[in-house]
A and B are shown apart, each in its own frame.
Chain A
Amino acid sequence: MADPTAPLLDVRNLTKIYPRRKGLFGKGDDFVALDDISFTVARGEVLGIVGESGSGKSTAGRIAMDILPRTSGQVLFDGVDPDGMDRRQRRAFRRRAQMIFQDPYASLNPRMTVEQLLRTPLALHGLTAGPAEDRRKLVAALDLVGLPETLLNRYPHEFSGGQRQRINIARALMLDPALVVADEAVSALDVSVQAQVVNLFMDLRERLGIAIVFIAHDLPVVGVISDRIAVMYRGRIVELGETVAMFTRPRHPYTAMLLNAAPAPDSAPAGPMAARLPAEETDGAGGCAFRPRCPFAIAACATGKPPVRMLEGGHMTACLRDELVIDGPLAGQSCR
């Protein structure tokens, strides 16, 4: 249908403005949750999106899935914007693009058993194939996410957070999607399951060629699974590039701060790039939004939004200071 070399998902100049009523934060300004962001996801590629809470990661993911209206910009899935899809295309889109949500407590209908929950996607797309065959599929999906089939008749409230999120993932896999937007899908999972699920995502990508938008804030995890990473800050993508390049030499000071704030089992808390208090109210009005927290800020940073600069290897950054050399946690190392 579409050009196989074209990206599976192509997001262009997306902007999202939430209207905010007067008095919510004293001011009555509209809130810009996404400010002109663009990214692509190739077939079978894993794009990681990281950033602090409130930076717009979920908003971007939900607009890409067309479950949230956008203010402006384009979303192309297989070259077609969901906005202009006909009935049949839309149906296919809903099957081929799946989303896994952040909150394992809220994303399962509390009145349905696991079995009913997993049958729902099959029923919605008319893919039922008789009780025995369906049940085999359910059990296979549960097995993929590491849950025993004895749980089929239990209700969501009987599970711990980790178990619920596995049910969510199993449900998304029922439809053999081409794209999965995983919004903090592993953030609530414990380490062992997190490792299993990350491996599972890698398997799915290799075996089935599923492309994944992997939204998370645990940098080592995002690094392990992603081919490229987009770093968001206050509604903008401030850096986007190949994973290893970003971990060896981050180009944006915010990326460096994120990389250094992640606690590791063997390291002491980080030194020079230690996390600074986020400025909740001041947002460096007019200039670079990161300015109030940036150890490298110069006068020029206050005079206008830093433009997005393209560097070698498709790397891009939105920091004015291109002469900066900041070591990432993998500085001096290369792929084994």
Chain B
Amino acid sequence: MSRPILSVRKLAVTFAQGSGPDIPAVEGASFDVGAGETVAIVGESSSGKSVTAMALLGLLPAGAGTIVSGQALFRRDEAHEVDLLALPEREMRALRGRDISMVFQDPMTSLNPVLTIGEQIAEVLTTHDGLTRRQARATAVDLLARVGLRDPGQIVSHYPGQLSGGMRQRVMIAMALACRPRLLIADEPTTALDVTVQAQILALLRQLQAEMGMAIIFITHNIGVVAQISDRVVVMYSGQVVENAPVRDALDGPLMPYSSVLFRTVPTYDAVLARRRRLPTIPGHVPDPRHRPQGCTFHPRCAHFRPGVCDMFRPSLEAAREGHEVRCVRWQEIARG
């Protein structure tokens, strides 16, 4: 692979708790994103996906979330590389929305209800690209048309509350793409939408990516979506990256026991025929981050658990083969069967 556009190394984030010890939300996450590549981050709730994304953009809640360590080298252009985690707030603000942008799960909470859609897009354009208000408005109409909204000339003067969920998410994407970022971070952008709109948004992202060559970090629970949109899958479990592989390798032959059970829990149409049969699940639950198990943090739920091995050593992320990393002490034995 060519030089990555983003290289995250050993990112660790903790949250301060009013009482009691800090919560280690992310513990040493490392992964790369190549230029023009789509990396899906999957994992159960509270595994640290959103926190990772927010840390990269310097959006951790002030006073509560702290980046303890790590590095995230982002290639702004061919010559310049910056560490996102060490960037002063002022420079981060200049970068956000221009070089890297983000789409959140809930478009309603991230749009300002009292400004029109046009005003909000124009805001982004005037701050980052220095356009005049009139140019910005014209560009806004353009962008809305690009994301497939009908009648963009009308929509610029609407308020977010007047649009449907799917339309709002398109508006968010239009805003995120306004300055042609090199990296788009999308945190469950389609989870709140129905399948037809989701299919359209995914198609839209793929098309815009092909046109603009941006890289995408796509956070999602939906493995079907992962299969459709991503080149590479990063699986997170309780604050750590446990597997990182090209999408087909990951879905067809996951090496980490957690990834395999995670992918198996997805209901498919075939499951519909097995009336009343229970869906496969992962036993137990994600550990409380303040009381993570010794050794491999997945061991209390793992079918391949070997006492004395898995609960003694914390496995490190090792390369199983070129471009396929796994965090499991027994992956070789398991792969051999």
User: What is the interface of chain A, defined by CB distance below 8 A to chain B?
Assistant: 24-26, 50-54, 105, 146-148, 150-151, 159-163, 187-196, 198-199, 202, 206, 217-221, 223-224, 243-244, 247, 257-258, 261-267, 269-270, 274-281, 329-330, 333-336
- A332 → chain B closest CB, angstroms: 11
Contact status B50-A218, CB under 8 Å: no
C-alpha spacing A244/B275, complex, angstroms: 9
Q: Which residue of the partner chain, among A53, A189, A220, A279, contacts B166 with CB atoms under 8 Å?
A: A53
Q: Which residue of B lies closest to A263 (CB)?
A: B224
Measured between beta carbons, the chain B residues less than 8 angstroms from A26 are 154
Contact status A148-B288, CB under 8 Å: yes
Measured between beta carbons, the chain A residues less than 8 angstroms from B276 are 202, 206
Contact status B279-A329, CB under 8 Å: no
C-alpha spacing A279/B167, complex, angstroms: 11
C-alpha spacing A134/B203, complex, angstroms: 50
Given A54-B164, A163-B45, A261 and B288 touching (CB < 8 A)? no
- B153 → chain A closest CB, angstroms: 12
C-alpha spacing A280/B194, complex, angstroms: 15
Contact status A278-B196, CB under 8 Å: yes
Given A223-B269, A261-B199, A265-B268, A24 and B223 touching (CB < 8 A)? no
Measured between beta carbons, the chain B residues less than 8 angstroms from A247 are 269, 272
Any chain A CB within 8 A of the CB of B222? yes
Measured between beta carbons, the chain A residues less than 8 angstroms from B275 are 244, 335
Any chain A CB within 8 A of the CB of B221? yes
Instruction: Count chain B CB atoms within 10 A of each CB in A187, A276, A278 and give the residue with the most.
Output: A278
- A28 → chain B closest CB, angstroms: 14
Contact status B269-A329, CB under 8 Å: yes
Measured between beta carbons, the chain B residues less than 8 angstroms from A265 are 223-224, 226-227, 251, 263, 266, 268
Given A53-B165, A220-B267, A221-B267, A192 and B281 touching (CB < 8 A)? yes
B interface, size bucket: 35 or more
Measured between beta carbons, the chain B residues less than 8 angstroms from A192 are 44, 261-262, 265, 281-282
Contact status B164-A280, CB under 8 Å: yes
C-alpha spacing A274/B50, complex, angstroms: 31
Measured between beta carbons, the chain B residues less than 8 angstroms from A333 are 273
Given A190-B221, A224-B267, A264 and B273 touching (CB < 8 A)? no
Q: Which residue of the partner chain, among B43, B166, B196, contacts A257 with CB atoms under 8 Å?
A: B196
- A169 → chain B closest CB, angstroms: 14
Measured between beta carbons, the chain A residues less than 8 angstroms from B149 are 280
C-alpha spacing A138/B143, complex, angstroms: 50
Could you give 27 example pairs across A and B, Cβ below 8 Å?
Answer: A26-B154, A50-B194, A54-B164, A146-B285, A148-B288, A160-B45, A191-B266, A192-B44, A192-B282, A195-B267, A198-B279, A199-B278, A199-B279, A206-B276, A218-B195, A220-B271, A220-B272, A223-B269, A223-B272, A262-B195, A264-B269, A265-B226, A265-B251, A279-B150, A280-B151, A330-B272, A335-B273
Measured between beta carbons, the chain A residues less than 8 angstroms from B266 are 191, 195, 220, 265
- B256 → chain A closest CB, angstroms: 14
- A149 → chain B closest CB, angstroms: 10
Q: Which residue of B lies closest to A46 (CB)?
A: B276
Measured between beta carbons, the chain B residues less than 8 angstroms from A25 are 162
- B19 → chain A closest CB, angstroms: 9
Contact status A269-B278, CB under 8 Å: no
Other than the known A148-B285, A163-B45, A192-B282, what 11 A-B pairs have Cβ atoms closer than 8 Å? A52-B166, A54-B165, A191-B221, A193-B44, A194-B221, A247-B272, A264-B227, A265-B227, A269-B203, A275-B197, A275-B200
